[in-house]
């Protein structure tokens, strides 16, 4: 399993979430809500947990 921090504009994060969700080799376990980055109103962050589809039994 990988834990990934996504950082960018709201539209950039939404774009990448669609890429993650549409890839049949990746299972998206969880994607967090958007959080504002301190000091800017333009950039946000979100967190994702993903794993390879064929590694469900791996820890």
Domain parsing of the chain, residue ranges = 2-55
pTM for this predicted structure: 0.82
| Confidence bin at 59 (pLDDT 50/70/90) | low
Read off the DSSP letter of residue 37. P
pLDDT at 57 over 70: no
Read off the DSSP letter of residue 41. S
pLDDT digits (tens, 9 = 90+) for 1-55: 999 999 999 999 999 999 999 999 999 999 999 999 999 999 999 999 999 998 5
What is the predicted pLDDT for the residue at 54?
82
Spatial separation of the C-alpha atoms in residues 24 and 16, rounded to whole Å: 15
């Amino acid at each position: 399993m990988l834990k990934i921090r996504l950082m960018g504009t709201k539209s950039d994060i939404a774009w990448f979430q669609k890429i993650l969700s549409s890839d049949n080799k990746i299972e998206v376990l969880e994607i967090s809500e958007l959080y504002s980055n301190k000091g800017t109103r333009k950039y946000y962050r979100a967190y994702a947990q993903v794993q390879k589809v064929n590694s469900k039994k791996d820890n």
